Amino acid sequence: MARREFPGFEAVSAMVPAEGGGYHPAIAVKALNGGGAPRFHKILEGQVLASAVATDAAASAELERLQGVDDAGELIW
């Protein structure tokens, strides 16, 4: 799991289970100073990977490309 901080938010590589098996690569975003659950953003739309290791590697690579997180917690590419 890779992690990056942006002003007011942290973003981590993640995965969301896919219906029928496998995982969608994702980036989870959470406010730095506050509770609550993270918001998961599926990335690489349409891709389902068979292994958790491959999914985390794909999500980590996309996290490196991420430019930031806006005030609403949306990803900025």
Is residue 64 within 8 A of residue 49, CB to CB? The reply is no
- Predicted confidence at residue 63, as pLDDT, reads 98
- Predicted confidence at residue 35, as pLDDT, reads 73
Q: 31 to each of 7, 35, 60, 64, how far by Cα in Å?
A: 9, 8, 19, 19
Average of per-residue pLDDT across 6-12: 96
- Predicted confidence at residue 48, as pLDDT, reads 97
Instruction: Give per-residue pLDDT as tens, 10-58.
Output: 999 999 999 999 999 999 999 998 778 999 999 999 899 999 999 999 9
- Predicted confidence at residue 36, as pLDDT, reads 83
Q: Is the pLDDT at 66 greater than 90, yes or no?
A: yes
